[in-house]
Amino acid sequence: MTTSPPASPQEGDVIIAREKGGMTYTISAVPGAPQLRYATYDHALAAATDWALRRDVALWFTEDGKTFTTM
């Protein structure tokens, strides 16, 4: 039996969020406020991927804080 991944971030997961205006990207862990900020998506993705892999949690992306895409 295969289980589907959750449709939204769970506690401990890592989120990359594009800030309003699309000029910066923040990284946070659920639940919590943004802890890191990057000027490019590529830098945010590299840091967030490392963070998620070290903690063995899922990585998500959001542009609006309401809709999340698993990475």
**Ranges of each domain in the chain:** 10-22+44-71
* pLDDT at site 33: 94
- CB 33 within 8 Å of CB 41: no
Alpha carbon 54 to its chain's center: 14
**How far apart, in Å, are the Cα atoms of 34 and each of 1, 4, 66?**
36, 27, 15
Q: Residues 6-51: pLDDT tens digits?
A: 789 999 999 999 998 878 999 999 999 999 999 999 999 999 999 9
Structure tokens at 62: 């959001």
Element (H, E) at 49: helix 41-55
- Return d(Cα 7, Cα 63) in angstroms, integer: 16
Tell if the pTM clears 0.85, that is, is over it: yes
